[in-house]
């Protein structure tokens, strides 16, 4: 049986390059661009401010302020590293969740194969911070982006790039652009199998996938290396339906291999895995039959780094398989009570500009008293809506909540939480800020 591809680093993909480039972010100057940071830190480098180890509540930060739990982030990184290793999976976490080079570096140090992107801009950020392997989970037909990609691949012979193809027309556009750019190396592609009628992208049938593969074989600038897709788009997803689609993905890969469609590929890539069904991916990928070349079983879950208090909290595979461990929500948005017009209503100074709201509203969790700094559970306090810059809060009768109090809220959907903050305090359990996470959206 062909051996699976190792999940760790190779000599051609050193983990220290992304780490060293991300470390350069510490020399950036703190100023008005970064929400919530202390006004008296204006002009300091991030490194200098970090060294001061200020307290989030008493160190001059303004509200609203988004914080990441240092302990929870560390726990989540370690948990998925162990999970991937235990199940024989390579791991290319989806970077669009955070767009944070510091977190990418941490993931690579923990054995990640590379980082997944969705659009060319994200890939450019990854390359600027030394990412040596990129999986683009999308079809790339932008001629300008393909010209940039060709240049990157020529300049760096060790750079590995893989992207989706899901249409004959897309293959034609890629071939045209890469030929015009005089690409010196073929671009590796995987045929995307759609998750069903009414799902998102991807060729809908096995026959459609074969037609796309035929088009790749006729294109001199592309090389077919595998098959991929996204099980999170399976209509009316449940464990049975998701596994059924994943078995189609495996069967398609095995069929293509039997037809010798992966000629020239050093390994066969099969990829899936968002943050809701990676247990199903691990189970079905364990059933992959013997193939003619080593198999890279590539998982792409990304939301795990911060997890959340809503969407993924309820969908995480660890709820279904608790013996595997448990992720911890790492986000907390702190906002201040700025209006208390009645005994049943209050308003906080955070809104749609600060909190994810596309799937679920924030969840009031704790209250920090403006009088003495004491912290208590947010019992009887419910977020009912968001305006541009206000959180609408309903309070039960007798609940103490004063103007000036800080309310800590959990957030749903990390993918639309990171993108609202460019420099996020990484906060230890006692409130000490130990680092600042830079994002690029």
Q: Tell me, yes or no, whether 77 lies in a domain.
A: no
Whether pTM exceeds 0.85: yes
Asked if residue 404 lies in contact with residue 420, where contact means CB atoms within 8 angstroms, the answer is: no
**216 and 149 both lie in a single domain:** yes
Indicate whether 294 and 350 sit together in one domain.
no
pLDDT band at 282 (very low <50, low <70, confident <90, very high): very high
The CB density around residue 394, as the number of other CB atoms within 10 Å, is 15
- 127/270 same-domain check: yes
Provide the CATH number for the domain around residue 261.
Answer: 3.20.20.10
Span 286-316, pLDDT tens digits: 999 999 999 999 999 999 999 999 989 988 9
- Report the pLDDT averaged over residues 142-165: 98
What CATH number is associated with residue 408? 2.40.37.20
Helix (H, G, I), strand (E, B) or coil at 103: helix
Average pLDDT for residues 14-22, to the nearest whole number? Answer: 79
What range does the domain containing 151 cover?
87-300
Indicate if 277 and 152 belong to the same structural domain: yes
Q: Where are the alpha helices (DSSP H) in 156-238?
A: 168-180, 206-217
Task: Give yes or no: residues 294 and 377 share one domain.
Answer: no
Greatest extent of the chain over all pairs of C-alpha atoms, in Å: 73
**C-alpha span between 353 and 390 (Å, rounded):** 9
Instruction: Give how many domains the chain has, as a whole number.
Output: 2
Q: What is the pLDDT of residues 108-134, one digit of tens each?
A: 999 999 999 999 999 999 999 999 999
Q: Do 106 and 218 have their domain in common? A: yes
In this structure, is residue 428 part of a structural domain? yes
Same domain, 348 and 263: no
Tell whether 166 and 196 lie within a shared domain. Answer: yes
Q: Is residue 75 part of a domain?
A: no
Determine the pLDDT at residue 113: 98
Tell me: do 345 and 289 sit in the same domain.
Answer: no
The domain boundary, picked from 264, 284, 300, lies at 300
Statement: residue 249 has pLDDT above 90: yes
Q: Is 229 found in the same domain as 100? A: yes
How would residue 17 be classed by pLDDT, with cut points 50, 70 and 90?
confident
Torsion sign (Cα): 52, 55, 57, 62: positive
Question: Do residues 410 and 308 touch, judged by C-beta distance below 8 A?
Answer: yes
Mark which of 248, 281, 300 sits at the end of a domain: 300
């Amino acid at each position: 049986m062909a051996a699976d591809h190792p999940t760790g680093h190779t000599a051609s993909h050193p983990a220290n390059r992304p780490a060293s480039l991300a470390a350069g972010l510490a020399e950036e100057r703190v100023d008005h661009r970064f929400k919530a940071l202390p006004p008296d830190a204006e002009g300091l480098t991030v490194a200098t401010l970090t060294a001061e180890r200020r307290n989030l509540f008493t160190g001059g930060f303004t509200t609203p302020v988004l914080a990441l739990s240092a302990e929870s982030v560390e726990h989540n990184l370690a948990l998925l590293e162990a999970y991937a290793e235990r199940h024989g999976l390579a791991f290319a976490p989806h970077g669009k969740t955070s767009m944070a080079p510091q977190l990418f570096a941490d993931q690579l140090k923990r054995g990640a194969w590379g980082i997944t992107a969705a659009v060319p801009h994200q890939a450019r950020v990854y390359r600027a911070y030394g990412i040596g392997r990129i999986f683009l989970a999308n079809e790339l037909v932008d001629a300008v982006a393909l010209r940039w990609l060709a240049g990157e691949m020529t300049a760096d012979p060790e750079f590995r790039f893989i992207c989706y193809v899901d249409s004959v027309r897309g293959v034609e556009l890629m071939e045209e652009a890469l030929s015009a750019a005089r690409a010196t190396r073929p671009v590796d592609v995987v045929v995307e199998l759609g998750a069903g009628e009414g799902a998102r992208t991807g060729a809908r049938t096995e026959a459609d996938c074969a037609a796309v593969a035929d088009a790749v074989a006729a294109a001199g600038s592309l090389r077919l290396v595998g098959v991929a897709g996204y099980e999170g788009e399976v209509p009316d997803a449940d464990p049975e339906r998701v596994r059924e689609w994943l078995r189609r993905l495996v069967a398609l890969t095995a069929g293509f291999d039997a037809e010798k469609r992966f000629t020239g590929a050093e390994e066969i890539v099969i990829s899936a895995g968002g943050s809701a069904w990676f247990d199903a991916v691990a189970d079905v990928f364990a059933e992959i039959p013997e193939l003619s070349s080593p198999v890279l079983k590539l998982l792409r879950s990304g939301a795990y780094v911060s997890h959340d208090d809503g969407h993924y909290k309820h969908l995480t595979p660890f709820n279904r398989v608790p013996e595997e461990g448990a992720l911890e929500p790492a986000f907390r948005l702190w906002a201040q009570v700025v209006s208390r017009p009645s005994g049943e209503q209050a308003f906080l100074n955070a809104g749609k500009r600060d909190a994810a709201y596309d799937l679920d509203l924030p969840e009031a969790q704790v209250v920090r008293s403006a009088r003495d700094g004491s912290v208590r559970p947010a019992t009887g306090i419910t977020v009912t809506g968001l305006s541009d810059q206000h959180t609408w809060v309903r309070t039960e009768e007798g609940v103490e909540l004063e103007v000036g109090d800080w309310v800590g809220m959990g957030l749903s959907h990390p993918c639309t939480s990171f993108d609202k903050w460019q420099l996020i305090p990484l906060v230890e359990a006692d409130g000490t800020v130990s680092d600042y996470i830079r994002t690029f959206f």
